[in-house]
Amino acid sequence: MAENGTTTEAPPTTTQPEKPAVLIIGGLGYTGRFLTRYIHDNNLASEIRIVDKHLPELAWLAPEFKEACSRERFMQADASREQSLQRIFDRENGKQFDYVFNCGGETRYSQEDEVYKMRSYGLSMAVGGEAAKRGVRCFVELSTGMIYKPDSVPRKETDKVKPWSKLAKWKLTAEEDLAKIEGLNLLVLRMAHVYGPYTSKFISTALCMARVYQFLNEEMKFLWKEDLRTNTVHIEDAVRAIWVGAEWYVKAPPPRKPVPTFNVVDHGNTSQGLMAKTIHEVFNIDTGFHGTLISAFARLNLDHVVDDVNDKLLDPWADLQIKAGINQPTPLSPFMEKELLKDTDLSLDGSSFEQETGFQYEHPQLTKEEIEKVIESYRAMGWWP
């Protein structure tokens, strides 16, 4: 009470809006674990649940993921199976998840159509359908930039599509059919080649091959041409983009139509030439390109060429591991996938996402330093011979 007998009102308290509750499907996969850690370390969510078919103990988790991907946040389940969905989506407080991130699905190349149909497409449709039923505020579907008709001119989101791997074909089918689900608040992000510490895809294959060529004291020669685009995005930027995308999505009344679809790609316009130059600098080996004649032969006999390369590299890789005392299996291998050795440009224009959301890249291009950090992460895990 004030001196003159009047009461003074307490200043109004401003309540912070509750942080979103998030569900991450495929939460132990490469992108899933980094996304979980990013959300956890920055305290962005009121609840994080990660769902994966695999157990954390078998996922090759580096020490810095142990807390974020801990047992109390983890649920082992196959989200593509309808009977698992209720358990996955039900929360103890009876409320719904705000954001659902689909980082799951088959990531290996050169599998049969049926595998992608079931493990990628089937998974997307199952969790997308459930998210729609429950009114989830934003469902983020991770797709791939390999769905475009390849061209060296960076592809915009509105450009022609012509998937060039089976994985991409089923990713595009999922994009199209998710968009038809009534009431689904869908955001689609098409990723360039994701790389960073602990990566075991695409760039890791090139690094393992380079290590073998270094061991054999031979030149590492690339097929096709120097200016073939192999665009990249660093995993830390990728997961920040996923989060920024969800935050942006819920700022407008749902559903946003047409479905917002964005490319996520760094500014480096990564090409084979840049990869060859970087590998030369990191491994101190000669790198070059096969002439047009050999490349033309390879185009007609790709199976044969890939088999030859794999035959040449796999035994020395095993020798290197034995010499280094690595007797546990690791996720690294110089094994070359035929689907990744295509003469096709992965060249993306990511400007739309940056303009819409204000997102900025912290790893704007692939550099020698970034590659050295990747190798350092392998060493820390005891994977690198």
| Model pLDDT, residue 177 | 98
Q: Decide if 80 contacts 53 (C-beta within 8 A).
A: no
Give the pLDDT band (50/70/90) at residue 9. Answer: low
Q: What is the pLDDT of residues 111-134, one digit of tens each?
A: 888 888 889 999 999 999 999 999
For residue 326, the SS3 value is coil
pTM of the model: 0.93
| Model pLDDT, residue 196 | 98
Mean of per-residue pLDDT scores for the chain: 92
Q: Between residues 108 and 3, which one has the greater pLDDT?
A: 108
| Model pLDDT, residue 171 | 95
| Model pLDDT, residue 13 | 54
Q: Decide if 80 contacts 123 (C-beta within 8 A).
A: yes
| Model pLDDT, residue 295 | 73
- pLDDT of 50 higher than 70: yes
Torsion of CA 116, 30, 314, 166, to 10 degrees: 20
Give the pLDDT band (50/70/90) at residue 3. Answer: very low
Q: Which residue has the tokens 């307490």?
A: 10
Q: What is the pLDDT of residues 248-287, one digit of tens each?
A: 999 998 889 999 999 999 999 999 999 999 999 999 999 9
H/E run at residue 220: strand 220-222
Q: Assign 3-state DSSP to the chain and report helix, strand, coil percentages, each to 5.
A: 40, 15, 45
HSE (side-chain half, CA atoms, 13 Å) at 197: 15
- pLDDT of 166 higher than 50: yes
Q: Decide if 357 contacts 267 (C-beta within 8 A).
A: no
The percentage of residues in the chain with a pLDDT greater than 90, rounded to a whole number, is 77
- pLDDT of 209 higher than 90: yes
For residue 293, the SS3 value is helix
Domains and CATH numbers, the chain: 21-199+232-265+347-363 (3.40.50.720), 203-227+270-341 (no CATH)
HSE (side-chain half, CA atoms, 13 Å) at 252: 14
> Please, what is the Cα angle at 115 between 112 and 119, to 5 degrees?
155
Q: List C-alpha distances in Å: 141 to 54, 68, 288.
A: 20, 22, 38
